[in-house]
Amino acid sequence: MPANLPPQYYELERVFRNEKDPSEKLRLAQELLAMMPKHKGTDKLQADMKSKISKLKKQLEGGTKKSGAARAETLDHVDKEGAGQVVLIGPPNSGKSSILDALTNAKPLIADYPYTTREPQAGMMPYETISIQLVDTPPISPESFEPYLLGIIRNADLVCLVADAGDDGCIDAVKYVYDKLKERRVILTHHIPVKKEIDDASMAYKKTIITAHKIYEPGDEDRCARLKEFFPDFTIVRTSILDDITMENFKREIFKGLDIIRVYTKAVGHEPDFTDPIILKPGATVEDAGMMLHKDFVHRLQYARIWGPGKFDGQRVQKTFVLNDGDIIEFHI
């Protein structure tokens, strides 16, 4: 029985064979397995790929410590917390650590010399009624690139590329980061294409905003304008840790970039709970919100009542009702 593999499979397989980094090779193997049609013609191929995946996992868990793969496995993943995970990337001394320090409970090492950040460090940034996880990372430059960063970037919900608006070389430094990641098959983009528009399945597209940090330095406006010329479609946020308004604007743009909505719950006869909203994607329904609480809960749901902008207070709705950011929902079972 023929395997009937799609054309993209063979291109991805070529990339897989040439890849040397164990973490990236594991990711590619998992994509190849997912891409295979599931029928008798691919049984042997599936078994072979599963065996390769198993060997790569053992290697990353420490079976082949000479390569340093065990350390990469430790660092290339940060457990997600809060409403979304945002990874801060950029050239040396661009200000990633100062942003993390100003907006979260983390205390990264901050210094005037480059390469002070050696390992990823996470902190929680409060925004209105939610917390968003920021992850500071080692710098990317011609002198320094940690391969494990690729795993962190691919896993993040949003990427924030930080540029030093006080440095004359910031455009070239940021372009280097962009090009280096593209070379490693990570594409920073303002908009994620749909799968049918992606020609190369080995490419990972990551939604990105650009932060022009350390504004108010001489020449910063010209540098910000040049950033916009190089990245015309990207959201560019101007920030300074000396200006609370710019940092609040940064938080707002991060929330918008995550493309999420917050839905609050209330028990019958009680006030709404604004401390722990359900986080959903735009277009989510009452049923989706119920599933976040418990999958069996939805089967018992008779109807719900909704409070929110443009709605009648306590409006009765069914499972298919589409929710908006800030809606309050009362489930009736």
pLDDT in tens, 189-209: 999 887 666 667 678 899 999
> Other C-beta atoms within 10 Å of 128: how many?
12
pLDDT band at 300 (very low <50, low <70, confident <90, very high): confident
> What pLDDT shows up at residue 248?
97
- Taking the C-alpha atoms of residue 208 and residue 196, their distance in angstroms, rounded to an integer, is 21
Percent of the chain with pLDDT over 90: 55
> What pLDDT shows up at residue 109?
64
pLDDT band at 65 (very low <50, low <70, confident <90, very high): very low
> What pLDDT shows up at residue 230?
93
Helix (H) or strand (E) holding 330: strand 328-332
Structure tokens at 119: 């390992």
pLDDT band at 36 (very low <50, low <70, confident <90, very high): confident
- Taking the C-alpha atoms of residue 249 and residue 233, their distance in angstroms, rounded to an integer, is 19
Helix and strand numbers (H, E) in the chain are: 11, 12
Query: The pTM is what?
Result: 0.80
Of the listed ranges 43-57, 92-106, 134-148, 279-293, the one predicted with least confidence: 43-57
As a whole number of Å, the end-to-end CA separation of the chain is 50
pLDDT band at 35 (very low <50, low <70, confident <90, very high): confident
Domains assigned to the chain: 7-72 (no CATH), 80-258 (3.40.50.300), 261-332 (3.10.20.30)
**What mean pLDDT do residues 75-104 have?**
92
- Evaluate if residue 294 carries a pLDDT over 70: yes
pLDDT band at 59 (very low <50, low <70, confident <90, very high): confident
pLDDT digits (tens, 9 = 90+) for 197-256: 666 767 889 999 999 999 998 889 999 999 999 999 999 999 999 999 999 999 999 999
Burial class (CB in 10 A: 0-12, 13-18, 19+), 147: middle
Higher pLDDT, 39 or 236: 236
> What pLDDT shows up at residue 70?
46
> What pLDDT shows up at residue 66?
44
Higher pLDDT, 45 or 208: 208
**What mean pLDDT do residues 17-22 have?**
80
pLDDT band at 283 (very low <50, low <70, confident <90, very high): very high
Higher pLDDT, 63 or 192: 192
DSSP designation for 281: -
Burial class (CB in 10 A: 0-12, 13-18, 19+), 116: middle
Whole-Å CA distances, 4 to 1, 13, 41, 53: 9, 15, 8, 22
Structure tokens at 282: 């735009």
**What mean pLDDT do residues 155-170 have?**
95
Average pLDDT, the chain: 87
Alpha helix stretches (DSSP H) within 117-214: 149-155, 170-183
pLDDT band at 64 (very low <50, low <70, confident <90, very high): very low
